[in-house]
Structure 1
Amino acid sequence: MRDSTSGPPATDNSAVEIVDVAQAGATRPHHDPVARAVWLAAVHPSMRASGGTVTTPVKEPAVGRNYYRVGVRLRDGVAVGLLFNAAASLVAAAEPQDHHSVTLTFVDVPAGDPFSEAELRVAKAAELIQPLSDNDLRFLTEDERRDVAYHHQDRLGDLLFNWFD
């Protein structure tokens, strides 16, 4: 729950910086049934608000993917993947990718208000494509920092929505 000092939930029109979401554990596959249920409950109102529809079942975090993913099709026919990093309570969106590609093409989350109202952070594409800095790594464990160095992560989004093995 938000308290009165944390301000109102963010809407699509107000940018929420995803500062300090790279906490220890945020790069690892994290299963959280409660957070998953909250995120998924917001997916459907988001799709109703954007005139879209859910097109795929939820894919769970696993070795090689640290986030939940569900496919949606927007009113204009554009396919998008809605992503959720449960460890960071962070929602993002990306274009569908080839199974051999490891780099996501981030897009803005369509109709993000239901996620914000559920007290999840909504990442803008512009935030996710920012170059990764040493400051972004300061709260990660030593093992996580080694993974980042090994996989040559360049963008903040590649750290938070990754394919580490």
Structure 2
Amino acid sequence: MILKEKVKDIPEIETLSDKDKVYWKNIYENNFPKQLRNTTFLMMFGHFEEMLYLLWKQYNPLNIELDKKGFGITKFKTYIKTTLQTDIGQHHAYQQISDAQKIRNSLLHIAGRVSLSKETKALNDLIVRNPDLYCIHLDRVQLSYDGVLNFQRAVRSITEELLNKALKSDS
């Protein structure tokens, strides 16, 4: 009910000054797409971590413990390695997600500001290695559309692999 009343307070575009119209046009053309990519990426990352947890909880016949010292996806490293029976250092999707975790951490913990990172060199190196996925603009990490899409593909790939292996071991 409160929201409906507040909506009435939002001015119609026709009532805005030319200066305000230019401002909002800039916001929607420049900031909105970047924020949408970041939000989508962060939401996908959160869902992926939840999926890893659910897979670990439901399909873990060897009762593999989570790495208590790990954070993010690294706490599931032993589970992933054992379930996929592979060297995850050579696993393409895992490496992409591991790189994406560094981007995620910079967006969440330092608002993407590279100069505030404790791992500035590593973050810069990652971005230089993947210019089609990430860039730095005004000292902030930015994801490209391809960066979000690449992450989504890596998540789908490793999730399907884990689920298929887990279901086979469950049978």
> Which TM bucket (shorter chain)?
under 0.3
TM-score by length of 1: 0.25
* Greater relative contact order, per chain length (Cα 8 Å cut-off, separation 6+): 1
Normalized per residue, the structure richer in helix is 2
TM-score by length of 2: 0.25
